[in-house]
């Protein structure tokens, strides 16, 4: 009977240690998520301060002008316009891509947390 109690006590202690380790992993991932969210906030603040709304409007205007020029362009000019349009669109979309990258990282971390919670 004493042997059964010792093995049960050992089982409970092992279970507590396992839960503590999973809880620590979960908390570590939560802190990583907080860090990523802070980086996202900083990136948005940087964008709002350093990227002027007029610059965004100017990029859109340049893209539209190139599309209009493209209608009457020769084949060689069309290639050049396509390259310029692509570059302008990349510049315009770079911020949105950065925010999406942060969101993807957060989702991956949350999925890890879900897997850890399933192990409880």
| pLDDT, tens only, 55-100 | 778 888 888 998 898 888 888 888 998 898 888 888 777 777 778 8
Contact 109, 35 (CB under 8 A): no
Neighbours of 109 (CB within 10 A): 19
Tokens representing 66? Answer: 């190139």
pLDDT level of residue 17 (50, 70, 90 thresholds): very high
Q: Show the domain range for 63.
A: 2-119
pTM over 0.75: no
Q: What is the pLDDT of residue 3?
A: 66
Domain count, the chain: 1
């Amino acid at each position: 009977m004493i042997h059964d109690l010792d093995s049960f006590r050992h089982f409970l202690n092992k279970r507590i240690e396992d839960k503590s380790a999973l809880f620590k992993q979960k908390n570590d991932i939560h802190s990583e998520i907080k860090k990523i969210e802070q980086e996202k906030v900083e990136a948005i603040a940087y964008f709002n301060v350093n990227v002027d709304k007029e610059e965004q409007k100017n990029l859109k205007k340049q893209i539209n002008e190139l599309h209009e020029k493209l209608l009457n362009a020769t084949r060689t000019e069309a290639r050049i316009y396509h390259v310029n349009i692509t570059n302008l669109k990349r510049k315009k979309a770079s911020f949105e891509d950065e925010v999406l990258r942060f969101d993807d990282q957060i989702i991956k971390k949350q999925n890890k947390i879900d897997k850890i919670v399933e192990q409880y």
